[in-house]
Amino acid sequence: MNHFFYKFNNFFSNFEALGSLFLRLGVGIAFIIYGYGKFPLPPEGLTEYFDLPPFLASLVAISELSTGIVLIVAHFIKNSVGHILTRLAGLNIVILMICIFAVAHRDWFITKQLFTNIQIFLLIGGLFFLLKGNKV
C-alpha cells in the first residue's frame, strides 16, 4: 500500500509547477480583464461612483491591467528578475485588493459575502505570489 502512495505522490510531483502556473494565469487574466474593463481613461465608474480623481482612477485601471500582464510574463523569466517581478505583482495585487475592500466593500468584513466572492481569492492569490515569487 505504501508503494501505491509513493507512486501516486511521485506522479503528481511532476506537475507541481502547473499548479502555480494555473493560479498565475487565472489571477493574471482576471486582473487584465478588470483593468481593461475600466478603459477608456479615466474610468467613469471610479470617478463618478467612488468620487476618485481622474488621475487616481486612471492609475487604478493601468495598475490592474499591467499587474496582470507582469504576473503572467514573469513566469517565463527564469532568473531573479522574474522572481522580483512576480513578488512585485503580488504586492500590487495585495495593495489593490485591500484598497478595494476598504473603499468598495467595507460591509464584507468577515462575512459570507466576502468568502463567496472572487475578490478574496484574488487577495489570496496576490499573497501567494508575494510570498512565493517564482520558486517552483
Q: Which domain holds residue 42?
A: 17-132
Q: Is residue 32 part of a domain?
A: yes
In a domain, 8, yes or no: no
11, part of any domain: no
User: Is residue 1 a part of any domain in this protein?
Assistant: no
Answer yes or no: is 4 within a domain: no
What's the whole-model pTM score? 0.86
Q: 69 near 36, Cβ under 8 Å?
A: no
pLDDT digits (tens, 9 = 90+) for 105-131: 777 667 777 777 888 899 999 999 999
* 7 falls within a domain: no
12 is a domain residue: no
Number of domains forming the structure of the chain: 1
| Residue 123 falls inside a structural domain | yes
Q: How far apart are alpha carbons 50 and 23 in whole angstroms?
A: 30
40-71, pLDDT tens digit by residue?
999 998 899 888 899 999 999 999 999 999 99
Grid look-up 492609475 returns 59
Using CA atoms, how far apart are residues 47 and 54, in angstroms rounded to an integer?
6
Q: What value does the CA radius of gyration of the chain take, rounded to a whole number of Å?
A: 18
To which residue does cell 499591467 refer?
66
DSSP string, 7-56: HHHHHHHTTHHHHHHHHHHHHHHHHHHHHHTTPSSSPHIIIIIS---HHH
